[in-house]
Every structure is written in C-alpha cells, then in structure tokens.
A and B are shown apart, each in its own frame.
Chain A
Amino acid sequence: MSATLTFARKRGLDTETWLQRLIVAAGVLFLLIALLMPLTTMLVKSLQNTAGEFIGLSNFVAYFSNAALTQSILNSLNIAIWTTVIVVSTAFVFAYALTRSGMVGKKGFRILTMLPLFAPSLLPALSMIYLFGNQGILKDWLPVDSIYGPVGIVMGLSFWAFPHALMILITAFSNSDARLYEAAKSMKTPPWRVFLTVTLPSVRYGLINTIFVIFTLTITDFGVAKVIGGQYNVLATDIYKQVVGQQNFQMGAVVSVILLLPALVSFIVERRVQRHQSAQLSSRAVPLQPQKSPLRDALLALFCTLVCGFLLLVVGMAVYASFITFWPYNMELSLNNYRFDMMDGGGWASYFNSLQMSAWTAVIGTAVIFLVAYMSEKIKPMPTARKLLQLLAMLPMAVPGIVLGLAYIFFFNHPQNPFNAIYGTMAILVLNTLVHFYTVCHLTAVTSLKQIDGEFEAVSASLKVPFYTTLRRVTLPLALPSVLDISVYLFVNAMTTVSAVVFLYSADTTLASVAVLHMDEAGDIAPAAAMAVLLMLTSLAAKTLHWLISHQILQRTQRWRQC
C-alpha cells in the first residue's frame, strides 16, 4: 500500500519535471522563432542581392557611396543628441523637484507627466503643426523658419520621451542616504558642493542609464520624424522609404543593420551600468526626508508648472484641433474629422482592429511573458536553457520597432517558412507587438517574482504540491499587481505603436495607429489628429480601468503588504 503511494508520488514528480522542462524549452523556442531567427534572416538579406544571391558587403558599399543616404546617419545622431540633452536635463530637474524638494502638488505633477505615455508618438508631431506650423497659433514664437525639420522632430520627441527619462531618474533620486547629507551639513559644506559631491554621485548610474535609454528611443523613432520631418531624413524614415516607397528590401535591411548598431551599443552599456547600480545602497542607509526651502521650492514649482504646461499644451492642441471643422478658415467645432470612413487608413474598422489586436496582445502577452519569467526565476531544471531565456528576454529592448517589423517580413513571408500562414493576419501583429515590448514586461515580472520568497517553492516541493498549484494558489495572487501592470502596459503600447506594425498589417487588419500615418501622408492632418486623440483616450480609459481594478484587488489580496 505504502509502496504504491511512493511510486505514485515519484511518478507525479517526474511528470512535473517534464512539464517544467517542456515549458522552458517552449519559451526558448518561442523567442528563437519570434526574435532571433527573424533578425538573423534580416542580417543575411543585407548581404544578398534582389535575386537572393550572396554578394558580400556590396549593399553596404552602395549605401555608403550614396551621400543622400549616409546624410541620414548624421541627421539621426543630431536629433538623438539634441533630444537627449533637452529631455535628460529637464527630467533631471523635474525628478529632483519631485523627490528632494518640499514643493507642493507633487502628486499632480507626477500624474500630468504620465500623459505622453498614452499618446502615439505621431500625436505630438501633429500637434506641432497646429502650434508652430505656418498656420500655427504660436507660429511667431518659433525661433526658426519652419517647424518641418529637425526643430519639429526634437520638440515632438522631447514630449514623447520625457516620462521615460523621468521614471528612471525618480528611482535614482529615491535611493538616497540621509546620513551623507547630515555629515555634509555638520561640516558646513555649501549647497552647491553638496550637490556635486553627494547628490550627483548618488544618481550617476541612473543618469547614465537615462541618457542611453533616451538616446536609443530617439535615434530609432519613426513616427515623429515621418510626420514633421519635412525633407529632413533620418535612418528610421529611410527604412520606410526604401521598403514601402521603392520595395527595395535589401537596402532596407542595410539601413536596419546600421540602425541596430547604436541601439546595441547603448544596450550593452546599459546592462553594465545596471550591474554596478545594485551594490550602491547599503542596508544601513537612512532615507532622506525632503526639507522645505521656500525660494528653491517656489522656483522648482514654477519649472514643473512650465514643463507640465508644455505637455498639456501639446495634448490639448491635438484634442482641440481634432474638433475644428476646417483649420484655419472655419473654426467652428464639429465631429467631421472623426468620420474616418471617408479617409485613408481603413476608417473606423482600423480602430476596432487596434482594439482587438491590443486586447489579444495584453491577454496572450501577459500569460506568455509571466510564465516564461516564472520559469526562468523559480524552477531548478535546465540552468543553461534558463540563462539563455533570460538573455533572449533582454534583447527586444535593443531592437528598434521598424527593424523588427522588416525582419518579420523577411522571415515570415518566406514561402518555405512553416509559419508562413500567419503572415498578413492578426496573429503576426500580436506576435510582433508582444516581442517588441517584451523586455520591460519581463523585467517587471522578474522583479515582482524576486520579491516573493523562494521558500514558498521549497516548502511546496517538500509537501509534494506540484509547482503549477503553487503558481496558481500562491505566486500568481502575490504577483497580481505586476501581472496587471504588464497587461495594461502591453495594451497601451499595442494601441499606440506604429513603427513595427507598419510593414505587417494587411487590407483586413489595418490598424488605427497606422491609419494616423496614412491620413497624414494623404494630407488629412485633422482626421489624423482625431484618430491619435482617440487612441490616447482609449489608452487612458484602459489605464483608469486598470487602476480601479488593481485598487480593488490590492485591497482584497495584498493586505499582507501593509503588515
């Protein structure tokens, strides 16, 4: 009797290990197929001619001998450097104000700075036209001739990249040690010196990290440059022009490889910095309590008001313009611009496709990403495969959307590919978006899983509870807040992304964000703004819903955190 029981248990454990192995293997296979193989195919394509014969570096030679194309490298660098300088310095002061000052209204400022996260990057660009275009309401404020070009791109990107920089810098400023400041105070160190010798060093890793993140975001951006760039070409718009305009896929692959380089470099630097950062704060550190200082706080509040004013102005302008009947000659308000069915881009159907695509991405993506993160964190077998899994999960961050999209054409449109059937369907859009935004979600999941004590798994295992039961009854409920975070992050980004999906939609799966682009191409700027506004409102609604739900759930399931 007892012998049969042991036997049964042992067998149960075996199937369990097998199941774990199977899931880890499936996770690795998934990332290989959905990420690494498409990218490899693209690299190979950049070394081939149109007939598919290997021609070495000829495409690259052709690229570098075309001055018009190589000019884009300089243009892209120019844009990225300017935007990084503006965004990082603004976000630095802003984050300082939020974490270290006694300024009032911090919560309000914090919420307002989140706004750009919910807008497609095309929205600020369209707004720029209404603000500073030839008929713009603030045209006279513009110090240069025309908003169409580098100035417009930098302004649009600054809006869009700001919250990303702010998030990292707030975290950096939050890790402070009050003891250092007390020591400085007792030694009567002047404030500027405290700033240089205490404050700055304590945030240096966060600062370096921010610089590289913003640099990567802006050098790879496609949407803003496409709308407001005028004749100013950058690498990402060149890829689009080569692929869509001239169907020159090989040259598109060449530009993609070039665009991949700066992203990869900053990715590697960022990983290195990350490693240093963790050891910085000792467990004996005392958190700093911000002190009030009327003059400084007033100045910082003014600064934050100006920045938030700019963000609100950009959003508000797009919303307002979307209701104007015929800018600038008929300023009556109407809903005419929301009749998308008379426009390019697929009309209202595109909006509903986007909703559908985002919902699928959120549901499937959250499940896949969380399960993979769980497997790589919480189980024991196949250490090498799990290492590989972790490495692959970090890679999507370094791959610009437009490059990933092109890689998907090469890989999935190949007639011999067994997955060829998903080409042109909703499934490829979901897969592509999931992979595109994989890394941040993975990191969120891993962070929250690390917070959960490994003892749970150990105890469960010794009680012979299968891992999936522990996952379902213990780990998942504990990690629920981050699971919800991941799903809403995926939903919002799937709604607003343009760069990766612009190559992958078909006549039946047109998307709203791409429709914004096409309406702008056709000259219908107001309807484009209207669709961008609609996307932003939808994302905000999803976020609000997320907030309500997680608020409810937190109260029910996370009471242990308060103890």
Chain B
Amino acid sequence: MTSILKKTLLAAAVALTASGAQAATELTVYTALEADQLKSYAKAFESTNPDVKIRWVRDSTGIITARLLAEKENPQADAILGVAATSLLVLKKQDMLQPYKPVGVEALSGQFVDKDETPSWVGMDAWVASICYNRIEAEKHGLPMPTSWKDLTKPVYQGHVVMPNPNSSGTGYLDVASWLQTFGEDQGWAFMDDLHQNIDRYTHSGSKPCKMAASGETPIGISFAYRGAKLINKGAPIDLGFPSEGLGWDMEAAAIVNGTDKLEAAQKLMDWAVTREANALYNDNYAVVAMPGVAKPVPNYPTDIAERMIDNDFEWAAVNRARILKEWQQRYDGKSEAKK
C-alpha cells in the first residue's frame, strides 16, 4: 500500500512538473464530437491559444448530458464543445451554464445563438438525420430505398433497420423529437410503435447504424448525414436517404460550465468557437454551420439539405427531453428480441 501511495505522489509530482513546464492551463472539455474530429479541433484552437491545453472527455450525447447533470453539485468539466443544443438548454434551465458573450458572436446567424442578452450557449453547426442505405444488401433482401419515414414501418423492412437508442445517442433523440414534432405526439408514438416492429437493434451511438450499414451488417441504418458522407468517401456501398416528411436535426453547441475555476481559458475557447476559422473547420464535416457565407458544399451531401430540415423547436425538445426519453424507454428498451 505504501508503494501505491508513493506512486500516487510520484504521478502527481510528474503531472505537476509537466504542466508547470508548459505553463498551459488544462481545460477539461466535455464533448460528443466524433472521435475523428477531436484532434483537428484541438490543434486549431491550441495553435491560436498556446497557453491553453484541451483535455477531452468524450462520449455519446446522452451519456455526456447525464454525466454533466450527475456532477451538478461538483462539476468536473470547465467547458462544453460539440454537445447537442437541446442538452445545453436542459443544463441552462438547471443554472449549470455560465453566460458569456464571445467576441465576434454577432457574425453568427441568429438561430445559432442563445436569445439571451448574454448568451449561455452558441451553436457551431447543424447535424442532420438521414438514412444510410446499403445498395448491395438491400438488393439481396429486395428492399427499395425508403423515401419517407413512414416507409420504414412497412413489413418488408422487418428486422432490417437499426437505429440509435435516444437515451445514449443525440442522433437518436433528434430522430424521436423530430417525429413527435412532425407527426404530433400521438401519431408520433404510433409511428414509433410500428417502427419498433421492424427494428433489429437499438445502438449505443448515432454513428453505429450507419457504420453497420456500410459494412453490410444491416441494410438500413438510421443515422446522420456526416457519418454517411464520410463512409461513402471510404468506399462503402451506401446511399444517403432523406425522408420526405423532413429531417430532424440538432445543433452542436458550446458553453462554459458554471463554477469553473478556469473561466478565462473557457472564454478563449468560446471566442475561438465563433471565429470564421472554426466555422470553416466545422464545414469540413457539416454542410450547415453557424456563420453565414462560410459553408462550401460538402462531398456526398445534398446541396439543398437546409430546405429539408424540419422547423425544429429546440425549446420544446429540451423541456420535454426527460419525459420523452422515459416514455421511450418504457415502450421499447429492455424488451429483448425486438423483432419477434
């Protein structure tokens, strides 16, 4: 035991000297960004802010949100980057965000910024629901490309659809929230009851259904456009489908955690998040970004994706989040063998 104690002290000493040598503030940032985006974002930020070093804590949106809420009394995060705006609205209502007006926030389009005088959060980009459809597997099973969400409830698709679990995945939640808004509450749940009959599996992350479609584990994955476009570039035999009723979407957003003792560094991150340079970086991955005029077309994305997005009521999605997730869980989670 003494050796463990010694080891701890040693590790602490090493950590201290290491950070001392660099003299950089270590900023703990909770994020739901995709793992393949983290490096480039951190690099871009740290090159303009060499005195701050980002320490990422990454998980799926639902997990990160639950974790932030659980740590409310004793926050571990200094800032949040790339977490769904609906989640940040929930945190804002619990007084867990530190309002701050980033330098240059005026340049962003209005709907991407919290409406308060001093905004509690700023948006970065929009990520949009879409269907990943594996041509080869679909042909084997004789499945046409679904053109609407309602199509997916047809018996032909039984056992061939995978979607993310909204409790862990932000993409899963934006799907559920958009269906409830588009179809209305009753119709929305009825639609999901029917869809549930066809679902093979609910996955932990929003990327996984598309990755499964790309590798032929499932013919159809309900996922988001970024992941699909990436996988097409990698050579996956998938097409992206954009259902006619409209596409659910959410904003990736950034905020400062109330109570952080690294406020200054966190503010630097917020200032960076609204720059043109950062927006250009978001555009590598997403077609719709917060700063108007920055976005260039993204390969394999439809050019008219902005028109296909539903008129999303974030306030509603945030206020009802806990209720919807509970209801969803009672209806569909834990029921083994969904397709039988």
Contacts and interface: CB of A to CB of B under 8 A. Distances in A.
A427 B235 contact: no
A213 to B, nearest CB: 27
Interface string A16-57: 000000000010011000000000000000000000000000
Interface string B41-77: 0000000000000011110101100110110001000
A247 B70 contact: yes
Interface stretch (A281-289, A322-330, A455-463): A322-330
A341 B236 CA distance: 21
B55 A343 contact: no
Nearest to B15: A508
A364 B3 contact: yes
Interface string B117-131: 000000000000000
Contacts of A368: 1, 3
A508 B28 CA distance: 11
A29 B4 CA distance: 14
- Chain A interface category by residue count: 35 or more
B216 A326 contact: no
B8 A422 contact: yes
Interface string B202-234: 111101111110011110000000000000001
Nearest to A364: B3
Interface string A210-244: 00000000000000000000111100000000001
Given A149-B336, A523-B205, A245 B66 contact: yes
A307 B212 CA distance: 31
Interface in A429-444: 430-431
Interface string A360-376: 10001001100000000
A148 B201 contact: yes
Nearest to A522: B205
A68 B11 contact: no
Contacts of A134: 137, 216-218
Interface string A416-456: 00000110011100110000000000000000000000000
Contacts of B218: 134
Contact of B207 (A26, A149, A415, A522): A522
B336 A232 contact: yes
Interface string B324-335: 000000100111
Interface string A290-332: 0000000000000000000000000000000000001111100
Nearest to B29: A507
Contacts of B209: 523
A69 interface: yes
A523 B212 contact: yes
Given A30-B1, A134-B217, A329 B237 contact: yes
A69 B334 contact: yes
B307 interface: no
B7 A68 contact: no
A246 B66 contact: yes
A558 B28 CA distance: 54
Given A68-B335, A231-B336, A425-B11, A522 B35 contact: yes
A349 B334 CA distance: 35
A427 B4 contact: yes
B310 interface: no
A356 to B, nearest CB: 10
Contacts of A502: none
B215 A26 contact: no
A152 to B, nearest CB: 12
Given A326-B235, A415-B74, A427-B7, A247 B67 contact: yes
Given A245-B168, A431-B4, A523-B207, A326 B337 contact: no
B167 A246 contact: yes
B36 interface: yes
B39 interface: yes
B338 interface: yes
A368 B338 CA distance: 49
A425 to B, nearest CB: 6
A146 B159 CA distance: 10
A326 B236 contact: yes
Contacts of A148: 200-201
B35 A231 contact: no
A507 B57 contact: yes
Interface string A510-521: 000000000001
B7 A430 contact: yes
Interface string A51-76: 00000000000000000110110010
Interface string A145-167: 11011000000000000000000
Interface string B148-160: 0000000000010
A72 B209 CA distance: 24
A504 interface: no
Among B3, B70, B204, B333: residue with most chain A CB under 10 A: B204
A425 B4 CA distance: 11
B338 A247 contact: no
Contacts of B159: 145
Contact of B69 (A244, A247, A508): A247
Contact of A149 (B39, B57, B202, B337): B337
Among B60, B67, B159, B338: residue with most chain A CB under 10 A: B60
A85 interface: no
A133 interface: yes
Contacts of B70: 247, 249
Interface string B262-296: 00000000000000000000000000000000000
Among A133, A330, A521, A522: residue with most chain B CB under 10 A: A522
Contact of B211 (A68, A245, A426, A524): A524
Contacts of B57: 507
A21 B67 CA distance: 44
A274 interface: no
B294 to A, nearest CB: 25
Contacts of A246: 66, 167
A29 B208 CA distance: 46
A279 to B, nearest CB: 37
B29 to A, nearest CB: 10
A129 interface: yes
A135 interface: yes
B210 A523 contact: yes
Nearest to B66: A247
Nearest to A26: B1
Contacts of B60: 521
A521 B168 CA distance: 11
B38 to A, nearest CB: 9
A393 B7 CA distance: 23
Contacts of A328: 215-216
Task: Please give me the 4 A-B residue pairs with the lowest Cβ-Cβ distance, nearest first.
Answer: A68-B334, A523-B211, A523-B208, A247-B70
Interface of B: 1, 3-4, 7-8, 11-12, 28, 35-36, 39, 55-58, 60, 62-63, 66-67, 69-70, 74, 136-137, 159, 167-168, 200-205, 207-212, 215-218, 234-237, 330, 333-338
Given A30-B1, A133-B217, A521-B205, 14 more contacts: A68-B330, A129-B217, A134-B218, A149-B337, A231-B201, A245-B62, A245-B167, A249-B70, A329-B235, A421-B12, A422-B4, A426-B7, A523-B208, A523-B211
26 contacts: A26-B1, A71-B334, A71-B336, A134-B216, A148-B200, A230-B201, A231-B202, A233-B334, A244-B63, A245-B63, A245-B66, A247-B66, A330-B235, A342-B36, A344-B58, A364-B3, A421-B8, A427-B4, A427-B8, A507-B57, A508-B55, A521-B203, A522-B204, A523-B205, A523-B207, A523-B209
